[in-house]
């Protein structure tokens, strides 16, 4: 696209539409995260909604649609602060979520994430072979929406979306289908468990990720459930006499997952070391681009703008951290300075790692909570080191380390916003690169999204807390604890932080993960010399994520490999290979992600409105085991249909 071509990107109606979508996605993601500990990527649903609305209004362009989805995606992603803020209520420091503190820390952390993605864009997007499955899928959706005459691709996108939405509705709403298949076996005290999720979105993401990333995830799952869980179950006591399946899950949750977190930490640091040269080249390119005239398609926000934004974020964080500590203690400025430095330095390191992970497995499957666990460990160790040096106020570590735990959670909330935004924004910037958007305009809109998301997060958190409460922290006496939100991540972060401060946390699993990460790095170096690769971060992610995620994503990757091999053998030898971005399989895979994402939004809103997530369930009228059989049959049939349609389209020259 030439510089002279009109580029209608940022419009008033687009900003208003993005703000409206923001409210829906932020509320849905916060509720879903507090209920089950998972969220969905909002960029693809936002792109679909934007196309539909702007098409009705008339005159919408692909670039305008891209800006709307970027804004809404950033705001929806900022909701990941649900993983930390409730911990302040669980520790007893907060009785609700103060608006300006909650919104201000979310905003400062989010804007830092946008600033960090600017140099990372050159290293991880512009000059990187990473697949960015959700970013590619969003770009395909926008392209098809802009090509009204490309009916076959549009039909494939809609068809895949309808199939995925119907499957998700039968699973998530009606409970006619089970969402996972889990097989458990025992040999003496040893427990073996195999799990896979019936998720078409993960199949689509695995197809887009490719074989290398999928196999790395599969290896991580095998290490977790084929080696670690059986070995630990044979050597650890079961004092609560849990059933075999529950005991295996408990071991994975409280032991093996920490191995994954440790492996993620060391693999993330190694990834940062490898990314340092391209990041420095990106910074140099960014500076040079503003020294002369360049195309909008290559221009970022100016270094001066980045410096001003960075300074504002630092000042805002320092002020909010000081305001938190001022009523409770004195002599806190060295601690505040260290906390701000931690948010900037460690935030950038983890932004790079999360961006790399998002490029491999997608934003939805990127283990941000694992990064937050690593951040919790480092931040608490930093505070303990400052105590030894006499740089912390005396009241910080009194009363069972209550204030120290709460302050650490507050700092982690800012860091969570930073890494979550970086994790998602690089997907958006990949989408923008593929559709020809102006990076600096997209970066500006991402900041607008952070403002919108930060504004809505505090009332949503307060509404959900007052309506349901959190497990172990109810706002009023007499409330039904069975309806309380589980808030698994905040409870885990609070437990880890307090455990380190009180010296009661078992760190052996984290250390084991660090050693495993070093081994994976060495193995990858050896394989690269032979022309192969095994991404250490992908293996660590497979260890950390539930088997239902890593195994299913690996199935999608292997299915895609099989489809491409079948296409290669069936096409004439002299025929050019089809472009991956133009194959019907990419459109169907994108449709799978779209359908499940939009259904997730609708079901989350319905659950929030009705106060329960099983309002439409018919599982009580079905024989035991039937939902699993129905889900397995339908899932396999859809995968077969997906492969058949893709192969037929490619071999027919479509």
Percentage of the chain exceeding pLDDT 70:
83
Rounded CA gap, 453 and 73, in Å?
10
Rounded CA gap, 526 and 621, in Å?
55
Q: What is the pLDDT averaged over residues 105-128?
A: 83
pLDDT band at 590 (very low <50, low <70, confident <90, very high): confident
Print the domain residue range for 308.
12-176+257-523+592-612
Q: What angle do CA 584, 587, 593 make, to 5 degrees?
A: 145
pLDDT reported for residue 4: 39
What are the CB-based long-range contacts (under 8 Å, 24+) for 313-322? 313/108, 313/109, 313/111, 313/112, 313/115, 314/340, 314/344, 316/104, 316/107, 316/108, 317/105, 317/108, 317/109, 317/343, 317/414, 320/101, 320/104, 320/105, 320/108, 321/407, 321/410, 321/411
Residue 313: pLDDT over 90: yes
pLDDT tens-place string over residues 40-61: 566 766 777 777 778 777 777 7
Highest-pLDDT range among 12-16, 258-262, 462-466, 551-555: 551-555
Report the domain count for the chain: 1
Residue 305: pLDDT over 70: yes
Predicted TM-score (pTM) above 0.75: no
Q: Is 237 among the domain residues? A: no
Rounded CA gap, 366 and 611, in Å?
29
Q: Give the phi and the psi of residue 197 in degrees, each rounded to 5.
A: -100, 145
Burial of 187 (0-12, 13-18, 19+ CB in 10 A): exposed
Taking the mean position of all CA atoms in its chain, how far away is CA 217?
Answer: 15
Residue 531: pLDDT over 60: yes
Contact call for residues 501 and 397 (beta carbons, < 8 A): yes
Of 41-50, 208-217, 584-593, the range with the lowest mean pLDDT is 41-50
Rounded CA gap, 343 and 411, in Å?
7
pLDDT reported for residue 580: 42
Q: Is 29 among the domain residues? A: yes
pLDDT tens-place string over residues 349-392: 877 777 776 776 666 555 576 678 778 888 999 988 988 888 88
pLDDT reported for residue 279: 56
pLDDT reported for residue 283: 54
pLDDT reported for residue 207: 85
Q: What is the pLDDT averaged over residues 148-155?
A: 58
Q: What is the mean pLDDT of the chain?
A: 80
Q: Is 122 among the domain residues? A: yes
Q: Please count the residues of the chain.
A: 654
Percentage of the chain exceeding pLDDT 90:
17
Contact call for residues 418 and 372 (beta carbons, < 8 A): no
pLDDT tens-place string over residues 194-203: 888 898 988 9
Tell me the residue ranges of DSSP E strands in 133-218: 180-187, 190-197
Of 211-215, 336-340, 626-630, the range with the lowest mean pLDDT is 211-215
Output the DSSP codes for 390-413. T-S-GGGG-TTTHHHHHHHHHHHH
**Which tokens belong to 612?**
């329960």
pLDDT band at 548 (very low <50, low <70, confident <90, very high): confident
pLDDT reported for residue 5: 41
pLDDT tens-place string over residues 618-630: 888 888 889 999 9
Q: What is the pLDDT averaged over residues 96-100?
A: 91
pLDDT tens-place string over residues 455-487: 888 988 888 788 777 877 788 777 766 667 767
Q: What is the pLDDT averaged over residues 198-224?
A: 85
Residue 110 neighbours by CB distance under 10 Å? 33
Highest-pLDDT range among 204-213, 218-227, 425-434, 540-549: 218-227
pLDDT reported for residue 214: 84
Contact call for residues 16 and 67 (beta carbons, < 8 A): no
Q: Is 441 among the domain residues? A: yes
Q: Is 571 among the domain residues? A: no
Q: Is 206 among the domain residues? A: no
**Torsion angle defined by CA atoms of residues 86, 92, 97 and 100, in that order, rounded to the nearest 10 degrees:** -120
Output the DSSP codes for 359-388. HHH-TTTS-HHHHHHHHHHHHHHHHHHHHH
pLDDT reported for residue 2: 37
Residue 314: pLDDT over 90: yes
Q: What is the pLDDT averaged over residues 488-501?
A: 78
Q: What is the pLDDT averaged over residues 507-532?
A: 87
Residue 291: pLDDT over 60: no
pLDDT band at 524 (very low <50, low <70, confident <90, very high): confident
Which of the two residues, 594 and 556, has the higher pLDDT score?
A: 556
pLDDT tens-place string over residues 421-460: 887 778 888 888 888 888 888 888 888 888 888 888 898 8
Contact call for residues 89 and 462 (beta carbons, < 8 A): no
pLDDT reported for residue 581: 41
Output the DSSP codes for 491-551. HHHHHHHHHHHTT----HHHHHHHHHHHHHHHHHHHHHHTT----HHHHHHHHHS-HHHHH
Highest-pLDDT range among 88-92, 249-253, 405-409: 405-409
Highest-pLDDT range among 45-49, 205-209, 631-635: 631-635
Contact call for residues 260 and 513 (beta carbons, < 8 A): yes
Of 154-158, 305-309, 408-412, 642-646, the range with the lowest mean pLDDT is 154-158
Q: Is 640 among the domain residues? A: no
**Torsion angle defined by CA atoms of residues 444, 448, 453 and 459, in that order, rounded to the nearest 10 degrees:** 160
Q: Is 123 among the domain residues? A: yes
**Which tokens belong to 505?**
């946390």
């Amino acid at each position: 696209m030439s510089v002279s071509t009109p580029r209608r990107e940022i419009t008033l109606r687009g900003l208003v539409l993005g703000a409206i979508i923001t409210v829906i996605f932020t509320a849905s993601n916060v509720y879903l995260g507090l209920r089950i500990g998972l969220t969905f990527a909002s960029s693809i649903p936002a792109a679909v909604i934007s196309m539909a609305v702007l098409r009705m209004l008339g005159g919408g362009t692909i670039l305008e649609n891209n800006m709307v989805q970027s804004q809404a995606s950033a705001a929806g992603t900022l909701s990941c602060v649900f993983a930390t803020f409730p911990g302040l209520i669980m520790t007893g420091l907060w009785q609700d979520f103060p608006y300006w503190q909650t919104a201000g820390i979310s905003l400062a952390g989010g804007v830092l994430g946008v600033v960090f993605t600017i140099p990372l864009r050159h290293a991880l997007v512009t000059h990187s072979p990473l697949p960015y499955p959700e970013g590619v899928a969003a770009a395909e959706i926008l392209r098809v929406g802009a090509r009204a005459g490309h009916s076959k691709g549009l039909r494939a996108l809609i068809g895949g979306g309808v199939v995925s939405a119907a499957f998700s509705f039968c699973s998530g709403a009606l409970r006619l289908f089970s969402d996972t298949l889990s097989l458990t076996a025992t040999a003496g005290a040893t427990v073996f468990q195999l799990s896979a999720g019936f998720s078409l979105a993960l199949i689509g993401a695995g197809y887009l990720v490719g074989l290398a990333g999928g196999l790395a995830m599969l290896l991580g799952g095998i290490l977790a459930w084929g080696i670690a869980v059986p070995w630990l179950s044979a050597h650890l006591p079961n004092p609560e006499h849990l059933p075999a399946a529950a005991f295996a899950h408990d071991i994975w949750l409280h032991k093996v997952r920490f191995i994954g977190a440790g492996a993620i930490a060391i693999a993330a640091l190694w990834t940062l070391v490898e990314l340092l040269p391209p990041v420095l080249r990106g910074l140099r390119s960014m500076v040079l681009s503003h020294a002369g005239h360049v195309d909008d398609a290559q221009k970022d926000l100016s270094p001066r703008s980045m410096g001003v934004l960075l300074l504002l974020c630092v000042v805002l964080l320092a002020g909010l951290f000081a305001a938190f500590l001022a009523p409770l203690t004195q002599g806190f400025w060295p601690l505040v300075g260290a906390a701000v430095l931690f948010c900037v330095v460690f935030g950038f390191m983890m932004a790079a790692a999360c961006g790399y992970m998002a490029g491999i497995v997608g934003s939805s499957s990127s283990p941000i909570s694992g990064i937050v666990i690593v951040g919790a460990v480092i931040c608490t160790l930093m505070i303990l080191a400052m105590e030894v040096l006499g740089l912390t106020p005396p009241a910080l570590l009194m009363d069972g380390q209550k204030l120290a735990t709460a302050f650490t959670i507050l700092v982690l909330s800012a860091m969570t916003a930073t890494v979550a935004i970086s994790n998602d924004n690089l997907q958006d910037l990949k989408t923008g690169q593929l559709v020809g958007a102006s990076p600096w305009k997209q970066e500006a809109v991402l900041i607008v999204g952070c403002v919108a998301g930060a504004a809505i997060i505090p009332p949503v958190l307060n509404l959900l807390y007052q309506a349901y409460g959190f497990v172990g922290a109810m706002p009023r006496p007499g409330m039904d604890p069975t309806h309380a939100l589980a808030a698994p991540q905040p409870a885990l972060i609070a437990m880890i932080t307090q455990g380190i401060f009180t010296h009661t946390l078992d760190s052996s699993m984290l250390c084991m993960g660090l050693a495993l990460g070093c081994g994976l790095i060495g193995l990858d170096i050896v394989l690269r010399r032979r022309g192969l690769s095994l991404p250490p971060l992908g293996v660590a992610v497979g260890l950390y994520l539930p088997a239902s995620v890593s195994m299913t994503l690996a199935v999608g990757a292997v299915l895609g490999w099989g489809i491409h091999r079948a296409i290669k053998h069936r096409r004439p030898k002299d025929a050019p290979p089809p472009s991956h971005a133009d194959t019907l399989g990419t459109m169907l895979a994108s449709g799978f992600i779209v359908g499940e994402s939009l259904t997730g939004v609708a079901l989350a809103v319905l659950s929030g409105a009705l106060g329960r997530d099983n309002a439409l369930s018919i599982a009580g009228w079905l024989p035991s085991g039937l939902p699993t059989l129905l889900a397995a049959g339908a899932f396999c049939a859809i995968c077969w249909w997906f492969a058949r349609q893709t192969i037929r389209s490619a071999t027919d020259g479509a």
